A and B are shown apart, each in its own frame.
Chain A
């Protein structure tokens, strides 16, 4: 069973637009929710992360919104740029183990 469900599978956004990626989970033991960015042929790189006692975290153009009661969290990329084109993975941690969503392939068109 898929413990972290991520959508959409792919996303095309125009330059300057807002990219929104959503994740949902069931396991209430998850205590840390990072987002990773992965370029082709590279390893995932930590982008931004949030803990469940916070509803929103912003770092530059990237914002995580967290809804604990709905067990959902999302990544917003403001003013999306072609250089943001990559695959984005949400993840959730229980203990020391990360469970990943299946990823969203983002393409920002010039």
Chain B
């Protein structure tokens, strides 16, 4: 049973470009969460999605960031017009239900030059 998959594992973008991060949840999991981890910091919640719905986006920056979890395919975290401050590790987690244990993927490390 494969775990949470994220790709790419590393992503380099120049300022002003777009970054697209993908997350495939564990089999049987329909709830996806995105977290951001800055160097030497804990993980910060960004957004919680269920298939085709955004349930909670209270941790998402108001501009440039968006997330989706379509009926088919992976969840996507999209960052438009990246800035250096967006450089971080972005982790996706999934769970089978709303208050079940969250299992994390290996993360995507975004570097903005």
Contact = CB atoms under 8 A, between A and B. Distances in A.
Interface string A30-62: 001010100001111110010000000000000
A102 B99 CA distance: 22
Interface string B96-112: 00110111111100000
A89 interface: yes
Contacts of B40: 102-103
A12 interface: no
Contact of A34 (B4, B56, B91, B101): B101
Interface in A64-110: 89, 93, 95-103
Contacts, number: 60
Most buried by B among A36, A96, A99, A103: A96
Interface residues of B, number: 27
A89 B42 contact: yes
B44 interface: yes
A45 B4 CA distance: 11
B56 to A, nearest CB: 6
Interface of A: 4, 6, 32, 34, 36, 41-46, 49, 89, 93, 95-103
A101 B41 CA distance: 8
A45 B93 CA distance: 10
Interface of B: 4, 6, 31, 33, 35, 40-45, 48, 55-56, 58-59, 91, 95, 98-99, 101-107
Contacts of A49: 101
A98 B5 CA distance: 20
Contacts of A6: 42
Given A42-B106, A43-B91, A49-B101, A96 B42 contact: no
B59 to A, nearest CB: 8
Is chain A's binding surface mostly helix, strand, loop or mixed? strand
B91 A103 contact: no
B41 A102 contact: yes
Contacts of B56: 95-97
Nearest to A99: B45
Contacts of A32: 99
